[in-house]
Structure 1
Amino acid sequence: MTTALVITTYNAPLDLRCTLLSVARQTVMPDEIIIADDGSREPTREMIESFRPIFGDRLVHVWQPDEGFQLSRIRNRAIAAAKSDYIIMIDGDMILDRRFIAEHLRNARSGYYVAGLRSMLDPKVSDRLRNNEFRGPLTWYSAPMSLRLHSIHASWLTRFLVKHHGKSVRQLIGANMAFWRDDAIRANGFDESFTQWGEEEREFAIRLNNLGIRRRTMVFSGIQFHLYHPSRKDEESLARNGDRLRATLASGATRCERGIDQYL
């Protein structure tokens, strides 16, 4: 099976650089590395091109004009551009454990999508990483005490403790999620009517559930660390998008109206 790593970004080249450096250290490389760029300016393009000697043709930059928050649209464009069977989706401010891709592949199953976890880094460690001043690997004690469980690596335990959540979409994050490309196309990808922050990944997951595709949540594998930034949480948009999510749940919809089909 072939794999595409889709990395979303918006005007954060230093963060994306940290992410791509961690991709370069993977024990198993993805077949495609697709940067899903929601309208970043020239410094991001230049930084991406600086990795061309490392990644070669597997590095793809999918860009769209900056028209506000259009995360669903750029994700759809990136998935449409992918040629691989399996999509692993992260954000461009994540630092991946070197076994991240390998462990996602190990936990891929037909009929399931995978939800992973993440640990937050504190501001000082994050700034040192952005400035290329951090020396030494990130480990479980790099994270705040409340999230250290999410950063403990013990892959030998994963096959015993991987959780099958069925239809649950609680605590699901698009920053560590994997699914089959064909399944995403069946659900028509991400709903582009979501033009404000929040709940777009969960609404997508509900449509996967409605298609009979179930969730597996990895524990002790697929470790990633989130570079600190101020919260983007918007309670008003979260409430509005929550209404859309609940409407999909109530209707049993398996496809959205404005989705990936327009790019295929």
Structure 2
Amino acid sequence: MSTVSVIVSTCDQTKMLEKVLWGFNCQTYKDFELIIADEGSPDPTKELVAKIETVMPFEISHIWQKDNGFKKGEILQKAILSSKSDYIILTQGDCIPREDLVQVHYMNKEPKTVISGVSYLLPLNISKTLTQQDIEEQNCFKVDWLKSKGIKKLSKGTRHNSRGYKSKFHNTFTSSKQSLNRYNSSGWKKDILRVVGFKEDKEGEGNLPGEDLQNHGIKFRQLRYSAVCVHLDYKRISQTTAVSKKSGENRKFLVIQQKMIGDVLASTIICRTLKYLFPECTVHFVVNENTLPVLYNNPHIDQIIVFKKEYSENKRAFYLFLRSIRKHSYDVVIDAYGKLESNLISIFAQAPRKIAHYRWYTSWVYSDTVVESQEADSKNSLANKIRLQLLNPIAPEFDDYSISPKLFLNQEEIALAKQKVSALKRNSDQKLIMISILGSSALKTYPSEYMSEVVDTICSNTDGILLFNYLPNQKDEAKAIYDRCNEVSKSQINFDFYATSLREFILILSQCDALIGNEGGAANMAKALRIPTFCIFSPYIVKAAWHDSSTGLNTAIHLNDYHPELFVNMNKNKIKKVISSLYDYFKPNLFEDQLLLFLNKYCSNTILDNSLNEKY
């Protein structure tokens, strides 16, 4: 059995895949199998594999699935599960490995550690004319050869020639953030399966969220000057080079989102996707000061630019801030906020490309505007989709709207969180349930008399410990709901356990088995931690806007699901005026069966009628 499994993701890239396979034929370490994870390529790819496997010294497997719309996670899941080795190397069908790539990854493996390498984007003209001989002679990794082909500046050229102590030195002092990429990374199969959640009986999320590894005690190691491959350019990438005259490595993006916590968290998917499309780019993110805790440790943001409260209150302070923005020389501004302050930031940035959602009164500010979609994707929320659509002007063929926001915790934070919640449980198997007891306003809050019934239902069907989430100024309202609960429920509620900061709340939430209650910021953070959620939406909020079904962990309840007739010819203004009467219809018995099903799945020992599984 081979000691390494190399998984190559591809989708209708036959010519490039052939060059990649010749690259693996040159490897100095040859004890590996190669698995092609094929997302719906037509027959030519199958024919290529059949032809080339006869001349390769290693075993080649071809795992194929129908193209259902950029769902790389699903085919990658199948490929990893089919691998025969304990150690996995992940790459793509347009990345040619240097001759020592497999050796570097395998020889540097460590327990509970993933390794990330680098790729250098070859220009389109070299990508097209690169021959088998060039690959076998490693020309595409030689700085002098690349310069002879017209590359005037090779800022990362030292990577191609770095070996031995030189590469170790550069690896030690690299300034790049640690992250698990799709094109050049490796790790133990058991770690990847455990963290990513690849199960034979579940669908993939459509993405490989490798950055979640750090939340599970797995370390990162950067070998950017040792594990090297070149990324072949092709039509989609060449289209995006119109972003600026700079190379992909030097491209600099500014993303703006000065709003609430949920909006900022949702907009991090823009940063994440930019890093996927342009692996060597720089991403800066403008956010309000109070939202910083949801951004800590995020590997997709190179610099957070804080928009302080004083900038909104003091014109001179705001002007000085705008002048500081101009000094960064951004190539692209992506304004996800679209208000006056962000309009001015976009203007002062003086970027060649400025992108925002279409507004007739501000369209003159931007070089590109995008009309907001009104239809949610089948696997994601509308809030996520409209943010990702802002990338259409610079990546017109990218349409993977299944990407979801994530929160990132370091090992010290995880240890602290476990310590904080350990004293709450009578035993280690007892479930911990966060209750989003109140919304951010009365308009978005499920009535207290109903919420107490929901809490009683939870406590009568599980022996878990309940924690109430509320703002400091909502304590009296939360206490009123607690007082309405029965005595059994009160014995399971730890009312006095309260987070002293937003970051501490995130840490505690990360150790919970589920979140149940009002939809809002807490629910969005739970989703970003991959914590199962049962969200009760206010009739005022459009369910499709914030319900994320991409992970299969989230249940969303809305009055419109049960009484659609109440929403005929209703807009937000009308709903706001009659919100109390709408809540009268939204009693807990409407969704009790679904709540029991959720509790049975994630919170154990629920008394459940088996027919509910068939019904829901």
- After TM superposition, is the score higher than 0.5? yes
CA, structure 1 residues 150+50, in 2 after alignment: closer, same or farther (shift >3 Å)? same
Residue number in structure 2 paired with 1:10: 11
Structure with higher Rg: it is 2
Residue number in structure 2 paired with 1:192: 204
Equivalent residues in 2 for 1:159-170, closer than 5 Å: 159-163=168-172, 169=178
* Superposed displacement of residue 36, structure 1: 0.3
Q: Secondary structure at the match of 2:156?
A: helix
Q: Is residue 209 of structure 1 aligned with residue 220 of structure 2?
A: no
For 1:212 and 1:220, the matched residues in 2 are separated by 25
* Superposed displacement of residue 106, structure 1: 1.5
The farther-off stretch of 31-40 and 131-140 is: 131-140
Residue number in structure 2 paired with 1:90: 91
The farther-off stretch of 23-32 and 51-60 is: 51-60
Q: Is residue 244 of structure 1 aligned with residue 253 of structure 2?
A: no
Residue number in structure 2 paired with 1:138: 140
Residue number in structure 1 paired with 2:61: 60
Letter in 2 for 1:70: K
The farther-off stretch of 94-103 and 10-19 is: 94-103
For 1:258 and 1:2, the matched residues in 2 are separated by 34
Residue number in structure 2 paired with 1:152: 161
* Superposed displacement of residue 134, structure 1: 4.8
* Superposed displacement of residue 91, structure 1: 0.4
For 1:19 and 1:223, the matched residues in 2 are separated by 13
For 1:181 and 1:8, the matched residues in 2 are separated by 16
* Superposed displacement of residue 41, structure 1: 0.4
CA, structure 1 residues 39+138, in 2 after alignment: closer, same or farther (shift >3 Å)? same
CA, structure 1 residues 53+117, in 2 after alignment: closer, same or farther (shift >3 Å)? same
* Superposed displacement of residue 48, structure 1: 0.9
Deviation digits for residues 125-180 of structure 1 (CA, Å, limit 9, x no counterpart) = 11112x65858522242275233244333233344443499xx555x421001010
CA, structure 1 residues 214+93, in 2 after alignment: closer, same or farther (shift >3 Å)? same
2:183 counterpart (156, 175, 182): 175
* Superposed displacement of residue 227, structure 1: 0.7
Letter in 1 for 2:222: T
Q: TM-score, normalised by structure 1?
A: 0.81
Residue number in structure 2 paired with 1:128: 129
With a CA cutoff of 8 Å and minimum separation of 6, indicate the structure with the bigger relative contact order: 1
For 1:243 and 1:30, the matched residues in 2 are separated by 37
CA, structure 1 residues 147+15, in 2 after alignment: closer, same or farther (shift >3 Å)? same
Answer yes or no: is the 8 Å Cα contact 1:23–1:98 preserved in 2. yes
Residue number in structure 2 paired with 1:225: 230
For 1:242 and 1:9, the matched residues in 2 are separated by 19
For 1:12 and 1:255, the matched residues in 2 are separated by 36
Q: Secondary structure at the match of 2:41?
A: coil
Answer yes or no: is the 8 Å Cα contact 1:189–1:204 preserved in 2. no
CA, structure 1 residues 117+178, in 2 after alignment: closer, same or farther (shift >3 Å)? same
* Superposed displacement of residue 219, structure 1: 3.0
Letter in 2 for 1:67: N
Residue number in structure 2 paired with 1:262: none
Q: Any stretches of 5+ residues in structure 2 without a counterpart?
A: 241-276, 278-384, 392-400, 411-505, 511-528, 533-550, 554-616
Answer yes or no: is the 8 Å Cα contact 2:20–2:93 preserved in 1. yes
For 2:70 and 2:83, the matched residues in 1 are separated by 22
Q: Secondary structure at the match of 1:145?
A: coil
Residue number in structure 2 paired with 1:110: 111
CA, structure 1 residues 248+236, in 2 after alignment: closer, same or farther (shift >3 Å)? farther
Q: CA RMSD in A?
A: 3.3
CA, structure 1 residues 177+184, in 2 after alignment: closer, same or farther (shift >3 Å)? same
* Superposed displacement of residue 255, structure 1: 8.7
Q: Secondary structure at the match of 1:50?
A: helix
Letter in 1 for 2:183: A
Q: Any stretches of 5+ residues in structure 1 without a counterpart?
A: 195-199, 260-264
Letter in 2 for 1:52: E
For 1:103 and 1:189, the matched residues in 2 are separated by 26
Answer yes or no: is the 8 Å Cα contact 2:19–2:96 preserved in 1. yes
Letter in 2 for 1:16: L
Q: Secondary structure at the match of 2:78?
A: helix
CA, structure 1 residues 24+204, in 2 after alignment: closer, same or farther (shift >3 Å)? same
Q: Secondary structure at the match of 1:34?
A: strand
Residue number in structure 1 paired with 2:431: none
The farther-off stretch of 3-12 and 232-241 is: 232-241
For 2:38 and 2:214, the matched residues in 1 are separated by 28
Answer yes or no: is the 8 Å Cα contact 2:119–2:230 preserved in 1. yes
Q: Secondary structure at the match of 1:156?
A: helix
Q: Secondary structure at the match of 2:111?
A: coil
Letter in 2 for 1:245: K
Letter in 2 for 1:217: Q
For 2:409 and 2:204, the matched residues in 1 are separated by 14
CA, structure 1 residues 164+77, in 2 after alignment: closer, same or farther (shift >3 Å)? farther
Deviation digits for residues 173-208 of structure 1 (CA, Å, limit 9, x no counterpart) = 2100101001012111498333xxxxx44x3322x1
Q: Secondary structure at the match of 1:109?
A: coil
For 2:211 and 2:390, the matched residues in 1 are separated by 17
For 1:238 and 1:151, the matched residues in 2 are separated by 35
Answer yes or no: is the 8 Å Cα contact 2:34–2:58 preserved in 1. no
Q: TM-score, normalised by structure 2?
A: 0.37
* Superposed displacement of residue 55, structure 1: 3.3
For 2:390 and 2:56, the matched residues in 1 are separated by 37
Letter in 1 for 2:227: G
